[in-house]
Amino acid sequence: MNKLYDENNVFSKILRSEIPCNKILENECALSFSDINPQAPIHILIIPKNPYINFYDFSKNASIKEVELFWKLVNDVIEQVNLTTNGFRIISNCGHDGNQDVPHFHLHLLGGKNLGRMIN
């Protein structure tokens, strides 16, 4: 267990089924669900099931199996919600400068319209 990981964060509670989510897909190592405050017609979050704080923590410390199944789920979700043709954007906010609100690693998968320029 990473000592800096906050087990009270909202995604940790979702993983423990203490609060509900609108699940899209899951596998042994990762879970995807709708963002509660969507910023695009399609806005899905993909998270690992184990406690990693952010992209850096996950990439540095997750097992090969976790990394493989995490990215497999990302592609499975992309196919499930039909984003392969028109495209999408993936964002991962990390830390203070990335304005990360929830300290459990997650990707935002956004699509369903032209999303404009990357940063305003």
Active site residues: 106
**CA–CA distances in Å: residue 100 to residues 26, 106, 114:** 23, 10, 24
Q: Which of 35, 49, 67, 115 binds ligand AMP (CB under 6 A)?
A: 35
Per DSSP, the three-state class of 64 is helix
How many other CB atoms are found less than 10 A from the CB of residue 47?
24
Closest CB 21 distance from ligand AMP, rounded Å: 5
**Minimum CB distance to ligand AMP smaller for 33 or for 66:** 33
How many other CB atoms are found less than 10 A from the CB of residue 39?
12
Interface mask (CB under 6 A) for ligand AMP, residues 76-115, using x and -?
-----------------x-----xxxx-------------
9 contributes a contact to ligand AMP by CB under 6 A: no
